[in-house]
Amino acid sequence: MLFDKKNIPPEKLIALKFTDAETFRRAARIAVEHDIPVDTPGSYTLIIRKSDKRLFKGFPFEDHTVADPEKVPPEELHRLRKQRFHAE
């Protein structure tokens, strides 16, 4: 189930970046089975509520905070967008 990140404060979200496609698929399956709202921005990443992180305890992943775009300086947003554009 996909959700709209705008309705949930960024401090309550976490991005889990999984190590490979198979692990990501298994994690996505767990999210569906437990009816967890997620967002999938790509690169083997699921954005979930922090309270749901416990369900993925046995999976290898890196966790990253989710930034509120309104609180990130414009120069930093520009740098990140430029970096992402050149990475693709």
Q: Are 17 and 64 in contact (CB under 8 A)?
A: yes
Looking at residue 16, its pLDDT comes to 92
What domain count does the chain have? 1
pTM for the complete prediction? 0.71
For 1-87, strand residue ranges (E) read 13-18, 39-42, 45-49, 61-65
pLDDT tens, position by position, 21-50: 999 999 999 999 998 888 888 788 888 899
Average pLDDT over residues 53-73: 84
Looking at residue 85, its pLDDT comes to 60
CA distance 34 to 2: 13
Looking at residue 23, its pLDDT comes to 94
Q: Which domain holds residue 36?
A: 5-87
Whichever domain contains 12, its CATH number is 3.30.70.790
